Structure 1
C-alpha cells in the first residue's frame, strides 16, 4: 500500500492509535492494546465515538466517527479518543462500562470529556408546550416520538410537546400532522 492508497479512515485510525499509545504511557493506563480494535463510522450523526465489547473474544472495538474528525479540531477529537479509551479500560478490566463514578474518575485523570459536544445539527427539535417548562430535545432520526408526538409527553413536566423540522421550521404535534409536513416538504424532507 502506498501513501496514495491511504484514506481519511486510515488517517483517523493511525492518529487515534498513536494518541492511545501516548495516553497509555503518559497516564499509566493499563490497556491491552493487542485486544483493542479500531473502526471508523461514516453513518453516525450524534456520537463522535463508541466502544463495543465482544465478551467471547475479550476485545474492545473503538468506533470513531469520520464526520466528527472532519469537524473537530484535533484536541477535541483526541478527547473523544481518551473518552473511548476509558470505556475500553473498563471493559477489559471489569467486563462492563458506563458513565458512573469509576468512569468519571478515570476520565478526569485522563483529561477526557464525560460527554462529547455535538458535531452535527439535528433534523428535529422537540419542545415542550407547557408555559413554565423549557424542556427540549434534539433528534437526528425520525423516531417514534418524532413521528407521533401525540403518543408521548414532555420528559420533565408531562405536557404535550411539538416537533420542529429544523431545516424548514415546520412543526407538528400529531402523527397526522407529521405526515402532512413530510408530504408538503417532499424532496426537501
Structure 2
C-alpha cells in the first residue's frame, strides 16, 4: 500500500496472502503436484467448526480452498499453517483423482507435508447433546439449533439408542423436549 492509497488491507487480505505464500513454499519443498492455475482461495466468516475446506468444481476442474477467518484469528500461525497444508492435500487429491477424503491416500500425503488429519476446534459449540443412560458417555456438539437440538425427544443417542438431553453452552440450561427448548429460549431472551 502506498501513501495516499485509500485501499484498506483487511484481515482477509492478510490471511490469504500468508496462506498463498505458505502454500507456495510448501509446494516448492515437496513433491506434491498441484496446478496452481486451477487453485482458488476464499475466506469465510460463516463456518463454526471447520478452520478450512476444499471445494471441487468438477466442471471447471478447479479446487477452491476456503479458510475461516475466526480460526485464523484464534490459532497461532503454526496451527493455521497446518490447516493450509491439510487443505492443499485435499486440493491435490481433487486435481489428481476427482475426489478427496481422509483415507489412506490422504494420510500418506498429509504425513509428507506434516499436515494434521484433523484440526483443533476454534470455537465452543453452542449446544451439547448428552446421553441420559448411566453407562453411556455419548455426546455430540452442535453450533446451530438443528432438529435434534430443538426436539430431542424425537431422536435417540448415537451409541446406545437411549434418550439424551441438550445443554445450552453459555447458560447451562438443559432440555429433553421441544417445549423445553422453547422454554429455555424464551427464558434466556437476548442471552440466547
TM-score by length of 2: 0.96
- Unmatched 5+ stretches in structure 2: none
- Indicate yes or no: 2:140 matched with 1:153: no
Distance 1:132 1:185 in 2: 31
Please report the RMSD computed on the Cα atoms of aligned residues, expressed in angstroms: 1.1
Distance 1:154 1:104 in 2: 30
Deviation at 1:128, TM superposition (A): 0.5
Distance 1:41 1:96 in 2: 22
Deviation at 1:29, TM superposition (A): 1.0
User: Counterpart in 2 of 1:129?
Assistant: 132
User: Counterpart in 2 of 1:63?
Assistant: 66
Other structure's SS at 1:167 match: coil
User: Counterpart in 2 of 1:20?
Assistant: 23
- Unmatched 5+ stretches in structure 1: none
Deviation at 1:25, TM superposition (A): 1.1
Count of aligned residue pairs for this structure pair: 189
**Greater shift after overlay, 99-108 or 83-92?**
99-108
2:184 to 164, 178, 181: 181
TM-score by length of 1: 0.97
User: Counterpart in 1 of 2:108?
Assistant: 105
**Dislocated runs of 4+, deviation >6 Å:** none
Other structure's SS at 2:26 match: helix
